[in-house]
Homo-oligomer: A and B are copies of this chain.
Amino acid sequence: MAANQSVTYVEAINQAIKEEMRRDEDIAVWGVDVIGDFEVTTTLGILEEFGEHRIMDTPITEEGIVGLAAGAAFAGLRPIVTLMHASFVPLALDALFLKLGCNYQEWGYAFQLPVVVMTPVSSGIGMGADLALSPEALVVHSPGLKVVMPSTPYDAKGLLKTCIRDDYPVIFMPHLGLYNDNKQEIPADEYTIPLGKADIKRKGADITIVTYSRMVLTALEASNRLSEEGIEAEVIDLRSLVPLDIDMIAASVKKTGRLIIVHEAYKRGGFAGEILFRLIEKAPELIKTLKHDIKRLTAPNISLPHTAYLEKQMIPQVEDIFRTVKEMF
């Protein structure tokens, strides 16, 4: 076994794509400005290594980026396509929902449809309303789409490799706010992480914090502060929203007796409601034994503004989690 290596989140993503492209010639990448070197770029060096038949800058036509991927997969490619910000999911939602999510189900998996749509959430980092949407609720609602939102370099790499090998569509949503901040030791040897398995990022017996993506880090920070006050939070990182690891959530809540769900997306119709309903379906008796009512912390039902310092305040902060959890004791 080779030694570990220390990588950023964006490097982990870049490695996953390149490793898979080496393994499988049918993989091709396209998206707006995937070749050049910008803050959003995850695909540096691919042109140099694989040539221009494997990576292409597209015209700014998000609908087309995804729509073409469906057809290219129908015709034998395994596209990895990018939308520069997850805020562009609405622009391509027909293609995502109907072409990728629904149509192949109808056709009985008579053909495979191996497409990865990679699109970073850019919420809470001062991008302004139009670019700051965390749109997971929109794709989670679609039949047939898997939805993956990693929080660490290790997870990002292992999950993305699994997504790329999946024979059916996956929406992979990293978080732009994590790209360069947190280096992590990851194995130099190949590894993959299965979808549908959540990860306990911190063990604790007093309360379960269910979250995903960047909010995992926020929750961990809050948990450290809570620990100083004698409250030990268990932080569950969902990693994939679809499939959802409801078993792990139920087991943890059974243990702690308290649950708070945290996400960056707008509250109304956000993913928290789905988690809650799944929990009740999974463990109907559990809810009566809880020591406190279930809470959610999310962006409010108010447009994120084009104002970095305000926008940041609208996303759950360490302080918000800390305070809300404390109030639950």
Contact = CB atoms under 8 A, between A and B. Distances in A.
Interface of A: 90-91, 93-94, 96-98, 101-103, 105-106, 129-130, 133, 137-138, 140-144, 242, 265-266, 268-277, 280, 284-285, 287-288, 293-294, 296, 300-306
Assembly stoichiometry (copies): 2
Nearest to A98: B130
20 contacts: A90-B93, A90-B94, A91-B94, A106-B305, A137-B141, A137-B269, A141-B268, A143-B300, A143-B303, A269-B271, A270-B274, A272-B273, A273-B274, A273-B275, A273-B276, A276-B276, A276-B280, A277-B294, A277-B296, A285-B293
Contacts of A305: 106
A207 to B, nearest CB: 16
| Secondary structure class of chain A's binding surface, majority of residues | helix
Nearest to A265: B141
B91 A103 contact: no
Contacts of A269: 137, 140-141, 269, 271, 273-274
A103 B128 CA distance: 11
B303 A293 contact: no
Contact of A287 (B97, B140, B277, B288): B288
B303 A106 contact: yes
Contact of A106 (B96, B129, B301): B129
Specify which of A144, A266, A296 lies most central, judged by the most chain B CB atoms within 10 Å of its CB: A266
A309 to B, nearest CB: 14
Nearest to A94: B90
B103 A303 contact: yes
Given A268-B274, A293-B280, A129 B103 contact: yes
B280 A141 contact: no
A305 B271 CA distance: 26
A302 B105 contact: yes
A264 to B, nearest CB: 13
Nearest to A310: B106
A224 to B, nearest CB: 27
